[in-house]
A and B are shown apart, each in its own frame.
Chain A
Amino acid sequence: MPHVSFSRGPRFMEPDRSEQEWITRCQRGDKEAFGFLVGRYMKQAYYVALGFVGSHDDALDLSQEAFARAFKAIGRFEPGRRFYTWYYQILKNLCLNFVRARKKRPIVSCALAEDVDGREPREPVSTDPLPDAQCEAAELRQNLWQALWDLDPEDRALIVARDMLDTSYRMLAELMECPQGTVMSRLYYAGRRLRECMERRMG
């Protein structure tokens, strides 16, 4: 296995001109070059899959499988396209097939961090009970997270991408292959459906 060192750059990286060079090398069968592409987009891929499927193990498995399929199909990659946009279609379809084939609903609470920085609290900072407002906010977050799983997977992935992963409208439009106005409109209707699910859950 070729050794690849990954940069620890920002989670959502924009492609640059050198990406095409990496892809050309991949198309010649260079696995090390593909390793660099994997290193560049693995976090994005993992979190996008997590938005679709909701569990760490499945998100890891599906995002890795999508990369393997992308490598297999890289010979058909059209020059001038962005790798991530192309890869996203493979990942999205894998995730949707997975969600549709899954009979049971996932254990949805496990993917959500207990604090807003996304850190797992390893030990309690204080033994005092949480202030009421914090408790309420945490409960609201859990309720909303549960309500997200009543939504269609594509609606959920869109809300997760925009609100939780801070993906720009420009990027979303590129990934969804539609104008930014359409993304806004889909997000608006997804938000409305989420609100309705939330209202149903809270009675």
Chain B
Amino acid sequence: MTELNEREVTLLMKALDGALTDAERVEFEQLLSASSTLRDEWQSLKRVKEVTMTMKFKRPAEETWDHYWAGVYARIERGLAWLLISIGAAIFLAVGIYQMVLSLLEDVATPLYLKIGVGAVALGFAILVVSVLREKWNTWKTDKYKEVKR
């Protein structure tokens, strides 16, 4: 099928909305009489439009709107709660691991190979955390759509 040009598309869409000016109507009618492609598109899209214009969504019950803000507020509150829980848990975990590693390294009974292993794991974990945080920070600084991504 021959593609319509930009002007034909604009006039077609305006015609479908009944928004043509007098001059545009004359121009559109001239184009219609000259192009069978445009005529076919006009007829078929008009039929589709006639149906979509009569389609309506069910209206939700009025109570939906009365309780809407409460739903949003609960989510904001829960978000804060999860943030605090996460921060608290991260602190507990970090301190616990730190204490455990420290006690293992300070204990004279701990074999050297175990001390080296624990030290390597701790160092590797620290490097991993710093690397991830640095990457997140760089992304946050440069991504203009940061607030819209999931």
Chain A residues packing against B (C-beta within 8 Å): 1-2, 4, 6, 31, 35, 38-39, 42-43, 46-47, 50, 56, 60, 64-65, 67-73, 76, 89-90, 92-94, 97, 110-113, 115-120, 137, 140-141, 144-145, 159, 163-164, 181, 184-185, 187-188, 191-192, 194-195, 198
Main secondary structure of the interface of A (DSSP, over half): helix
Q: Known: A184-B10, A188-B12, A195-B45. Is A64-B57 also a contact (CB below 8 A)?
A: no
Q: How far is the CA of A65 from the CA of B148 in the complex (A)?
A: 12
A–B complex contacts, Cβ < 8 Å, 11 sampled? A2-B73, A35-B73, A56-B60, A69-B147, A72-B76, A72-B79, A97-B150, A112-B58, A141-B55, A164-B55, A192-B45
- Report the interface size for chain B: residues with CB under 8 A from the other chain: 39
CB within 8 A of B48: which of A72, A113, A144, A181? A144
Q: Known: A93-B148, A191-B49. Is A43-B55 also a contact (CB below 8 A)?
A: no
Q: How far is the CA of A60 from the CA of B53 in the complex (A)?
A: 24
In the assembled complex, which residues on chain A have CB atoms less than 8 Å from the CB atom of B79?
68, 72
Main secondary structure of the interface of B (DSSP, over half): helix
Q: Is the CB of A184 within 8 A of B56?
A: no
Q: How far is the CA of A169 from the CA of B12 in the complex (A)?
A: 14
Interface residues of B in 37-81 (CB under 8 A from A): 41, 44-45, 48-49, 51-60, 64-65, 68-73, 75-76, 79
CB within 8 A of B68: which of A1, A42, A71, A72? A42
Q: Is the CB of A144 within 8 A of B52?
A: yes
In the assembled complex, which residues on chain B have CB atoms less than 8 Å from the CB atom of A115?
56
Interface residues of B in 1-45 (CB under 8 A from A): 4, 6, 9-10, 12-14, 41, 44-45
Q: Known: A118-B57, A163-B52, A187-B13. Is A31-B64 also a contact (CB below 8 A)?
A: no
Chain B residues packing against A (C-beta within 8 Å): 4, 6, 9-10, 12-14, 41, 44-45, 48-49, 51-60, 64-65, 68-73, 75-76, 79, 145-150
In the assembled complex, which residues on chain B have CB atoms less than 8 Å from the CB atom of A65?
75
Q: Is the CB of B69 within 8 A of A6?
A: yes
In the assembled complex, which residues on chain A have CB atoms less than 8 Å from the CB atom of B14?
184
